[in-house]
Structure 1
Amino acid sequence: MGKKSYEAQIHVYGRIWMLTALFMMLMVPTLICTYYDAWPTLSAVAKGLLGVAPIFWTVAVIEVITFTPMLGSGGAYLAFVTGNLTNLKVPCALYAMENAKVKQGTLEGELISTIAIAVSSIVTVAIIAMGVFLLAPLTPILNSDLLKPAFDNILPALFGGLAVVYVSKNWKIAITPLIFMIVLFVAVPSLASSVSVLVPVGALIAIGMARFMYKKGLL
């Protein structure tokens, strides 16, 4: 199968599964409302969406633009259907491509990315299922003060490991956005809740610095 044929099929099946997932998500509240004959008013729905929709829609657009080139078409469709991109899918895909020694944007890279995201999705479902059954006996352990620091630092640990690899390879390009973000978050700690929105900012700074350094013959 050629690359064009593969990509064409990926887009066909990807769109089908995205629309199917969207339909199933909308059917859950619809069926509940139908069964109990309890429909919210349009004003209540609009009021609820007004507080969360602008944030989630903005982050969704940013994530599509930022993550799709990293994950490839197949990986992007699968990741956006299963969710949890920043915490799980993107680190898994990048680490898998790094270990397989394939580049982003290539057919090999897309295949590895898709497989990694698929495996991480299956593992996540299995762990969640185990967690549901073991929630009661494990609750005292998971809520203990001993494990709290570990759970608070899962995301920094994941991206810290990836940063060491990618920053060491392209430190000239990475140093400027890295310093900018460190200074920004130290100066305004409240922005820590807006990391997803600031990802494209860091990407634009890195692209701009790379272009500047390339013109100056520093790369």
Structure 2
Amino acid sequence: MNEAAKKEFCEKYEDSAHCIGRVGLTVGILLLLAAPLAMGWVLGTGPNWKAFCKGFAQVAVIYWTSGVMEFLVYAPMLGSGASYLTFITGNIINLKLPCAVNAREICGTEVGTPENNIISTLSVAVSSLVTILVLAVGVLCLVPLRPVLESPILAPAFNTVIPALFGALAFKYFYKNLKIAVIPLILMSTLFVLIPSLIANVSLLILLSGAMAIGSAYWLFKKGKLD
């Protein structure tokens, strides 16, 4: 494929990704809203809309900034198609983003390129399908496995699953980019040790640490200390 044909293909791919993504995102949101409304209609009940609007406003004031920041931080890394899939299926930082990053490293693509957009979209799509399959199997096996899962012997292990998982995922990226990671890592660790209550606001602090990492990378790059 020559450069002209490649450019034309990439432009068509981007246009179709945005078109399908917008339609799919709209349909997905409508379906998410339709499920509880349909159940309420069948059961002859519904929410107190005044209380709902009041509660929604209180939550929106808190989370709209993190929503905007997540889009600004993650969309360039994921690309167009993967962003639409990720923002409707969720689990960005702990599932979709690591899958996209690993796929990019395996295929040797660069962020911001059409090749990376395609690879990220495929990896996020496969991740979503695998998640659905695993959850379906988990739901089917929940009743027979309940005595094992609720065993007092396994309780301490379940309490450390999430730290162990994220520690294993994070170490790889910290080690590869130690110059960039060291400042936010030290500051965030110190904050959580001194003020444990901040754990409840971890999503906002992730964005703050991301901004610090970007600032550190920019400073190191300008100083010529970043490879």
TM normalised by structure 2 equals 0.85
Q: Does 1:24 align with 2:39?
A: no
Hey, what's the Cα distance between the residues in 1 that align with 2:152 and 2:100?
A: 32
> Which amino acid is the alignment partner of residue 36 of structure 1?
L
Find the partner of 1:103 among 95, 98, 110.
110
| 1:90 corresponds to 2:97 | yes
Give the aligned residue type for 1:98: E
The normalised TM-score by structure 1 is 0.88
1:157 aligned to which of 146, 164, 171: 164
The answer to whether residue 205 in structure 2 is matched with residue 185 in structure 1 is: no
Question: Percent of aligned pairs with the same residue?
Answer: 44
Structure 1, gaps ≥5 residues long: none
In the alignment of these two chains, the number of paired residues is: 219
**Off by >6 Å, runs of 4+ in structure 1:** none
AA paired with 2:120? S
1:217 equivalent in alignment to 2:224:
yes
- Map of 1:1-219 to 2, 5 A cutoff? 2-50=9-57, 52-219=59-226
Query: Displacement of 1:197 after TM fit?
Result: 0.9
Deviation at 1:56, TM superposition (A): 4.2
What is the SS of the residue equivalent to 1:2? helix
Separation in structure 2 between the aligned mates of residue 188 and residue 125 of structure 1, nearest angstrom: 37
Q: For 1:191, give the aligned amino acid.
A: L
AA at the equivalent of 1:71: L
Letter in 1 for 2:32: M
Contact 2:66 2:207 in 1 (8 A): no
Structure 1 counterpart of 2:4: none
**How far off is 1:51 after superposition?**
5.1
Secondary structure of residue in 2 paired with 1:144: coil
Structure-2 change in CA distance of 1:88 and 1:216 (3 Å): closer
| 1:178-217: CA deviation from partner (whole Å, max 9, x where unpaired) | 1111111111111122222112211221222223233333
CA distance in 1 between partners of 2:223 and 2:152 (Å): 52
Larger RCO, structures 1/2 (Cα 8 Å, 6+ apart): 1
RMSD: 2.2
Structure 2 CA distance for partners of 1:151 and 1:102, relative to 1, 3 Å: farther
CA drift of 1:78 comes to 0.7
Aligned-residue offset at 1:42: 2.3
1:26-63 deviations in Å (ceiling 9; x for gaps): 11122223223323332221344255444443433332
- Which region of structure 1 is more displaced relative to structure 2, 15-24 or 126-135? 126-135
Q: Which moved more, 1:130-139 or 1:159-168?
A: 159-168
